[in-house]
């Protein structure tokens, strides 16, 4: 039987990039899919693009807004009757050295990543507890949160915060068989990294044991593992998917 037969997964920021690859991987294991994105049209288009008909819907949601998250959970349970997997993936960058970083740039990144992941984890775990059938929440962090990257004081802080949030939440909701884990990607080929300066990319590649960038699908496989019963005794964990970078 498929790993996620009859289960429902909602993924934030999944109209493109890593989020869309996660949607594809979970859909291939027969999950119902909710593509949530701040860009509603793109979310609906991406849901149709999965090619699984009524097993996928697209919903517009800004993860930094509690009301949007509540609406997303409501739309999910209305369409499919349950919420079993929730992936906090939506993300932005506003890179600059501290000398040039404005308060708005700091707040925007903390708002989407840290506040958004907290809102998503809180709402999803409450929905899962109410269903009384457990669930899996997966939060996408970044190697930037482990080592700190130049020009990313906002992003590194948010991504490190996601690790602490994941562990604290795992302790709170474990009794209800709701598992909360994090995936920490390294340098992955997506629209987010396309615009990276070539010299910076070259320098980062030298730090990677496998000597190449990762693919979105390789992050999706780790998420699939954490979403499924293959990881039934894993919670509060951080899985690094970095090709061996900063081990």
- Comparison of 176 and 238: residue with beta carbon closer to ligand NAI: 238
- Comparison of 29 and 65: residue with beta carbon closer to ligand NAI: 65
Q: Which of 9, 57, 92, 160 binds ligand NAI (CB under 6 A)?
A: 92
Could you give the 3-state DSSP secondary structure of residue 207?
A: coil
- Comparison of 18 and 157: residue with beta carbon closer to ligand NAI: 18
- Comparison of 11 and 170: residue with beta carbon closer to ligand NAI: 11
Size of the site for ligand NAI (CB under 6 A): 28
With the C-alpha atoms ordered 63, 138, 23, 239, is the resulting torsion angle positive or negative? Answer: positive
Active site annotation includes 20: no
| Residue 125 within binding range of ligand NAI, rule CB under 6 A | no
Q: How far is CA 158 from CA 7, 64, 75, in A?
A: 30, 13, 28
| Residue 165 within binding range of ligand NAI, rule CB under 6 A | no
Q: By the 8 A CB rule, do 53 and 106 touch?
A: no
For 113-127, letters b (16+ CB in 10 Å) and e give bbbbbbbbbbbbbbb
β-pair type (8-12, 32-37): parallel
Choices 48-56, 76-84, 163-171, 181-189; region in contact with ligand NAI by CB under 6 A:
181-189
Residue ranges of E strands in the chain: 8-12, 32-37, 56-60, 85-88, 135-140, 178-185, 188-189, 214-215, 238-241
Choices 94-102, 126-134, 186-194, 199-207; region in contact with ligand NAI by CB under 6 A:
186-194
State the binding string over 213-242 for ligand NAI (x if CB under 6 A, else -).
------------------------------
For residue 140, the tally of other CB atoms under 10 A from its CB is 26
Instruction: Give me the catalytic one of 50, 91, 155, 178.
Output: 155
- Which residues of this chain interact with ligand NAI, rule CB under 6 A? 12-13, 15-19, 37-39, 61-64, 89-92, 112, 140, 142, 185, 187-188, 190-193
Q: Among all residues, which ones are annotated catalytic? A: 155
């Amino acid at each position: 039987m498929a790993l996620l037969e009859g289960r429902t997964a909602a993924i934030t920021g999944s109209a493109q990039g890593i989020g869309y690859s996660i949607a594809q991987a979970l859909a291939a294991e027969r999950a119902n899919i909710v593509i949530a994105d701040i860009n509603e049209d793109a979310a609906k288009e991406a849901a149709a693009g999965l090619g699984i008909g009524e097993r996928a819907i697209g919903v517009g949601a800004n993860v930094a807004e509690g009301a949007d998250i509540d609406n997303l959970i409501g739309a999910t349970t209305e369409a499919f009757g349950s919420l079993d997997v929730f992936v906090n993936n939506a993300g932005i960058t506003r890179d600059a050295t501290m000398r040039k970083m404005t308060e708005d740039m700091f707040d925007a990144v903390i708002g989407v990543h840290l506040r958004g992941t907290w809102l998503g984890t809180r709402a999803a775990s409450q929905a899962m507890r109410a269903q009384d059938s457990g669930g899996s929440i997966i939060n996408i962090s970044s190697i930037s949160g482990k080592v700190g990257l130049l020009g990313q004081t906002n992003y590194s802080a948010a991504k490190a915060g996601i690790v602490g949030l994941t562990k604290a939440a795992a302790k709170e909701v474990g009794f209800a068989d709701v598992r909360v884990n994090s995936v920490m990607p390294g340098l992955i080929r997506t629209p987010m990294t396309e615009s990276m300066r070539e010299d910076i990319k070259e320098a980062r590649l030298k730090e990677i044991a496998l000597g190449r960038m990762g693919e979105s699908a390789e992050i999706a496989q780790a998420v699939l593992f954490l979403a499924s019963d293959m990881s039934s005794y894993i919670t509060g964990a951080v899985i690094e998917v970095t090709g061996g970078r900063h081990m």
